[in-house]
Amino acid sequence: MIKIDEIKLQTILDSRGEKTLEAFIKSGDIEVVSSIPKGKSRGKKEAFLIDTEIALKKFEKIKESLLKQDFCSQEEFDDFLIQLDGTANKSNLGGNLTLVLSQAFSRLMAKKEGLELWQYLEKEIFSLAPDLKEKNLQVFVPYFFFNLINAGKHASFGPRFQEYLIVPQVKDPVYSLSLAKEFFEALKNYFKKNYQKNEFGDEGGLLIPKTDFEEPLKIYFQIRKDLHLEDKIGFALDVAASSFYNQKDEKYYLEKDKNFSQEELAQIYKKINSSYWFFSLEDPFEENDWLGFKKIREIFTEESGGPLIIGDDLTATNLLLVKKAIEARAIDGLIIKPTQIGTVTETLKTIVFAQKNDLKIIVSHRSAETKDDFVADLAWASRAFGLKAGAPQPEERMVKYNRIINIFNSQFPILKL
């Protein structure tokens, strides 16, 4: 049982210089702070976001209720928030308000129990699914997904595919980060030489003054070859196809003067994969195109070396949508973003269900980030397949990668993977 003695909410600036929420909670002599990010590329199925100033006013209305209540668990606290909200998509309180309070409470509980945050989240996962305990006791360090060329909604210009990622094919997080930094330096030098300057997007990656969706892949391929890292670096795409899909004619406007049908876009993926061999392919079709996801997964399942098909806007960290994706045989894995659903408990329940059904989990940041490293602890606690946190440069991104490294070193100081 824990009683909250003091709780405050304020606005801070995120990595885009926009306002986001930060919560402070105190119980006895324990004090914690947590802040949340937000995404520019947001699916329609995500929890509702409210303006930060409105969130402050909403918070004042529920503050006394939170102070009067004693809470026994994370789930009880989150359920209380859900009941106060009273809507299916957090449209009353806002998913950003409920999440910042939920995250702060999880940090409070972890400190109260004398645990690292990842240990507390791990304990919560095992309480939801005791049968995962034996499976999750094995060491699994998440792959790092580095977004080095930002495009789509994360950029002011460039191709419409949203994220061009590299994924070091190593399990030592220190080595993974060093490979990414080496690759990124070579990429920045290439851009300076060929485009005369380096400009950066929302996630710290470079902006390319080209609209050809294949150009970044050609550059990646050449740099990997020049660095002799063919066996160490894999490529991944976050297409975010909803961002260039036209609902009226059901076409994908991948280029300014060209549109493609579902089948034509699938053939494009098949063609470029044969040239670059993707580790994963995220949101290849718009968020309601279940058939498109199923078809592309079938295409690559039949071929050796095909990429993992990953859902993001399709599944939105929502348990019901993940169930639908499994029934539709639409994905091999999914992105986990607590901001999409609005509470820690709901996030953990989605993770547990996905893991029980052998889906790969990739925990992700958002395009407008803070220095809170919650998602790193979540990735470690859930034995996530991957962590997406942007380019290895901005501080808001690096704290996530460094947190994984710190946990790894504290748990396995002499372990070599």
The catalytic residue positions are 203, 337
Stated as kind and residue range, the H or E segment containing 177 is: helix 173-195
CA 184 to chain centre: 20
Tokens of 89: 């998509």
Helix axes 173-195, 395-411, angle to 10 degrees: 160
Q: How far apart are CA 315 and CA 327, in angstroms?
A: 12
- Would you tell me the crossing angle of helices 290-302 and 319-327 to the nearest 10 degrees? 50
DSSP classification of residue 206: B
12 touches 20 (CB < 8 A): yes
Query: Other CB atoms closer than 10 Å to residue 196's CB: what's the count?
Result: 8
Distance of CA 200 to the CA centre of its chain: 20
Tokens (6 digits) for 66:
């939170």
Q: Do 388 and 364 meet the contact criterion of CB atoms below 8 Å apart?
A: yes
Question: Phi and psi dihedrals of 150, rounded to 5?
Answer: -90, 135
Cβ count within 10 A of residue 183? 22
Handedness of CA 74, 80, 81, 87 (dihedral sign): positive
| CA–CA gap between residue 236 and residue 404 (Å, rounded) | 21
Residue 356: left (phi > 0), alpha (psi -120 to 50), or beta?
alpha
Report how far apart, in Å, the C-alpha atoms of 100 and of each of 113, 209, 385 are: 20, 37, 25
Please say whether the dihedral angle defined by the alpha carbons of residues 79, 342, 29 and 62, taken in this order, is positive or negative.
negative
CA distance 202 to 98: 25
Q: Tell me how far CA of residue 32 lies from CA of 100, 101, 106, 370, in angstroms.
A: 12, 11, 9, 16
Find where tokens 């299916």 sit.
Answer: 88
Going 343 to 344 to 346 to 350, the CA torsion angle's sign is positive
